[in-house]
Structure 1
Amino acid sequence: MVRGTASLYVLLGGTLASLAGAVSPLPLVIWHGLGDTFDNPGLQSVADLYTSIYPGAATHIIHLADDAGGDRKASYFGSLHDQMGQVCDQLASNPNLTTPLAPYGFHALGFSQGGLFMRGYVEACNLPKVHTLVTFGSPHNGISEFVKCKPTDWLCRTAFGWLNANKWSDWVQSHVVPAQYYRHPSPDEMDRYLEASGFLADINNERDTKNEKYKSNLGGLEGGLVLYKFDEDQVIIPKESVWFAEVVEDGEITWLTDRTLYKEDWIGLKQLDAAGKLKFLKTGGQHMHITDELLKEVYTKYLWQPEGVEAREIDGEKFNEGLLTLAEPHHDDGERKYGADTQEPLLRVQN
């Protein structure tokens, strides 16, 4: 991690005002979803909208490779525990996210699977610390069905081909990203899940041995946990997973507060709820269809700022064209690789 003189902080994006003790907005960290890349214009629009409202704020988009192709590949392939360690190091080495530039921590936005992984960061690492975590369409209780890929999307087809072939093998559970948060509620599948899951069963503390650090870290979020569900989501199956709900094949829903996960407070959700820091929110539209109005509400209502930091009134419509690519990111080959209209679910949960 870079430590040292004011000139080094300025070079790396810090400000002399921050070092002198002037009040600054909290930084914002963003983690994208499956099939997306750190250079997606939509993600930059998310960051730019934040800095337009809070001038001088630092932003950081998490990346798992130095190039877009490698970053997209890492959203499909890799060990999530290894990737989590990589992100812990990446954020810890950014002086804009640590004291003295960020004494209150940073705010975090997670899109789709990126929200699940950002929660994993909070539980397992959280140095530097997250103040408030907001997730959009994130499968916190896993996915119970895989999705079909476009015929031309070889990364997607390769990943889900491995999933369908042997989702519980050690290799798949340590190399194929979506497999590591697959969770089907049927008794037979749950037994295999608890035994073999490479990521989700761990960070949800579902095994007999509980990790108290996970509960302490997540339950200790000062600004809380905000969970957005898309009403017409057809990518996350079941869509109620974004609120930690359990949905069986006949469509019966067990909401979080009725689950043992909550009642015994395995990961601190009950603690957050008791403090009024757990929010279940919904927005219209399909998976990852996000507007400037929604983000402005998030930024000004849920992302706390120190006294003296004022939100600017802005016209955010100019950001909407970029935000569209969150649901339909474009890549160099011109193909749409991921979005609500490019992957068809095998099973749809009815309301």
Structure 2
Amino acid sequence: MKSIQALAEDIHPGTFVHIIAIDEDPSQDQMATFKGNVSDQVSKVCEELAKHPILSTAPAIDAIGISQGGQFLRGYVERCNWPQVRSLVTFGSQHNGIIDFRSCGATDWLCKGAMALMRFGTWSKLVQSSLVPAQYYRNPATEADYNKYLENSNFLADINNEREFKNEKYKANLSKLTNFVMWMFEDDDLVIPKESSWFEEVNGTEVIPLRARELYHEDWLGLRELDRNGGLRFRSAPGKHLENLYELLNETVTNYCGPWKRTFESDMEDSWDRLELI
């Protein structure tokens, strides 16, 4: 994280960079990436940024989320968004959830125990309130599986606005973004499926693009509106999960972060692109 801070300051001199931490103790902060209630963690970040002496006075901020941090920052934008985010950039994030949990080392018994608990007790209140990956697990293989997700998901079903009640605040806040940049890694074998990084739905061997999904057409999250404005940006990179991240960060910070009054080119090539989205 310190290298990202140095990179931003080098590309845009004078940039103030704040690194989000759930706990001041580095070991506990690392533990919080796996153990904890994600909604509580997002609320803590909301409170921290809202009272930050510098960030709270800024006209807007740019936010970069790496892996699961991407959907957590999106949760911040939807639920709080003060200070308001201008550019949200996510790398290898699980916006549409995961259908499987990561594998563990042969002798990593702690990991194996936690994975077993998540696999066999995914929708229990204990798991949904304490094990982070379970809170963005989503496998709609059958209608019954999807209904269990809607009924029990502690985090993802809510911030994806998938339940019958649609939170208009989420849509309003996310559509205020100037840029929402989503990086997917082409050979990602940690995020399953990798297409989740682009909000795509994978049903067996069929991949349903975001723009073909009900979530987009009914605009549950404001992504369609953001797309019409040229701010929804799909990016892909060769390699596995977070491979060559520093080079991608260099490009990203250069193109989507920086001074408040800078302008951005739309991802829409011409008026025909816009007409296709109407």
TM over 0.5: yes
Q: What percentage of aligned pairs have identical amino acids?
A: 48
Point out where structure 1 has 5 or more consecutive residues left out of the alignment.
1-42, 310-351
Q: Which residue of structure 2 aligns with residue 192 of structure 1?
A: 148
Q: Which residue of structure 2 aligns with residue 239 of structure 1?
A: 194
Q: 1:157 to 1:205 in 2, by over 3 A?
A: same
8 Å contact kept, 2:186–2:239: yes
Q: CA deviation at 1:154?
A: 5.4
Q: 1:171 to 1:290 in 2, by over 3 A?
A: same
Greater CA drift, 162-171 or 229-238: 162-171
Q: Work out the CA distance in 1 between the residues paired with 2:8 and 2:41.
A: 26
Q: Work out the CA distance in 2 between the residues paired with 1:239 and 1:124.
A: 25
Q: Work out the CA distance in 1 between the residues paired with 2:2 and 2:106.
A: 29
Q: 1:308 to 1:119 in 2, by over 3 A?
A: closer
Q: Which residue of structure 1 aligns with residue 211 of structure 2?
A: 257
Alignment partner of 2:139: what SS? coil
1:220 aligns with 2:169: no
Q: Which residue of structure 2 aligns with residue 279 of structure 1?
A: 233
1:137 aligns with 2:92: yes
Q: Work out the CA distance in 1 between the residues paired with 2:174 and 2:261.
A: 25
Offset from partner CA, 1:291-327 (integer Å, 9 cap, x none): 4432221112122523489xxxxxxxxxxxxxxxxxx
Q: 1:155 to 1:74 in 2, by over 3 A?
A: farther
Q: Work out the CA distance in 1 between the residues paired with 2:52 and 2:99.
A: 36
Q: Work out the CA distance in 2 between the residues paired with 1:281 and 1:306.
A: 23
Q: 1:155 to 1:211 in 2, by over 3 A?
A: farther
Q: 1:270 to 1:77 in 2, by over 3 A?
A: same
Alignment partner of 2:140: what SS? coil
Q: Work out the CA distance in 2 between the residues paired with 1:234 and 1:179.
A: 18
Q: 2:223 aligns with which of 269, 276, 281?
A: 269
The one-letter code of the counterpart of 1:161 is A
Q: CA deviation at 1:155?
A: 5.3
Which residues in structure 2 correspond to 1:1-351 (within 5 Å)?
A: 43-99=1-57, 102-103=58-59, 105-153=60-108, 156-187=111-142, 188-221=144-177, 223-249=178-204, 251-307=205-261
Q: Work out the CA distance in 2 between the residues paired with 1:172 and 1:57.
A: 39
Offset from partner CA, 1:256-284 (integer Å, 9 cap, x none): 01100000000110010000000000011
Offset from partner CA, 1:87-127 (integer Å, 9 cap, x none): 1112123222121xx22x11000000000100000000111
8 Å contact kept, 2:15–2:258: no
Kindly tell me the number of residue pairs found equivalent between the two proteins: 262
Q: Work out the CA distance in 2 between the residues paired with 1:68 and 1:88.
A: 20
Q: CA deviation at 1:129?
A: 1.2
Q: Work out the CA distance in 1 between the residues paired with 2:159 and 2:52.
A: 25
Q: CA deviation at 1:159?
A: 3.0
8 Å contact kept, 1:185–1:247: no
Q: Work out the CA distance in 1 between the residues paired with 2:110 and 2:220.
A: 35
8 Å contact kept, 2:174–2:223: yes
Q: Work out the CA distance in 2 between the residues paired with 1:88 and 1:246.
A: 29
8 Å contact kept, 2:122–2:128: yes
Q: CA deviation at 1:165?
A: 2.2
8 Å contact kept, 2:87–2:257: yes
Offset from partner CA, 1:143-187 (integer Å, 9 cap, x none): 011111124545533432320121011111111111010000212
Q: Which residue of structure 1 aligns with residue 266 of structure 2?
A: none
Q: Work out the CA distance in 2 between the residues paired with 1:124 and 1:48.
A: 29
Point out where structure 2 has 5 or more consecutive residues left out of the alignment.
264-278
Q: Work out the CA distance in 2 between the residues paired with 1:273 and 1:185.
A: 26
8 Å contact kept, 2:223–2:232: yes
Alignment partner of 2:54: what SS? helix
Q: Work out the CA distance in 2 between the residues paired with 1:138 and 1:158.
A: 24
Alignment partner of 2:249: what SS? helix
Offset from partner CA, 1:232-262 (integer Å, 9 cap, x none): 100000000000000012x210110110000
Larger Rg: 1
Q: Work out the CA distance in 2 between the residues paired with 1:154 and 1:57.
A: 43
8 Å contact kept, 1:205–1:266: yes
Alignment partner of 2:18: what SS? strand
Q: Work out the CA distance in 2 between the residues paired with 1:294 and 1:88.
A: 27
Q: Work out the CA distance in 2 between the residues paired with 1:202 and 1:135.
A: 19
